[in-house]
């Protein structure tokens, strides 16, 4: 019963319903409460708080852009490398993405 309480985190009444259905039909609510108190599990364990709580987003004026540049893998049938530029307006959350192909025509050894 303690295992069910700690693993399933069920409230007392729900735990009582499960115990009456599958383990002990004559179990009373007060008897279950006393059992859990004796074992030190009368209260449900509190969920752990994250180590680093998240902070709210900083407020930006419209027009402040965050720009990322990533290269896309060159496929066997392609002759040029492609890049993707992504610009995000931090205030409006508008996104603009542009894929640009770059063709290297010079000597690679030099």
Tell me the pLDDT tens digit for each residue of 22-60.
999 999 999 999 999 998 888 876 777 777 777 777 788
110 pLDDT band, cuts 50/70/90, is: very low
52-73 pLDDT, tens digit each: 777 777 788 887 888 888 888 8
Q: How far apart are CA 89 and CA 93, in angstroms?
A: 5
CB 32 within 8 A of CB 1: yes
| pLDDT reported for residue 52 | 77
């Amino acid at each position: 019963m303690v295992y069910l309480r700690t693993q399933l985190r069920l409230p007392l009444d729900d735990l009582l319903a499960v115990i009456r259905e599958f383990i002990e039909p004559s179990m009373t609510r007060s008897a279950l409460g006393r059992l859990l108190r004796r074992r030190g599990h009368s209260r449900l364990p509190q969920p752990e708080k994250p180590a680093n709580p998240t902070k709210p987003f900083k407020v930006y004026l419209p027009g402040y852009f965050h720009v990322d540049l990533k290269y896309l893998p060159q496929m066997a049938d392609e002759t040029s490398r492609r890049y993707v530029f992504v610009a995000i307006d931090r205030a409006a959350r508008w996104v603009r993405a542009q894929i640009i192909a770059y063709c290297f025509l010079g000597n690679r050894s030099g």
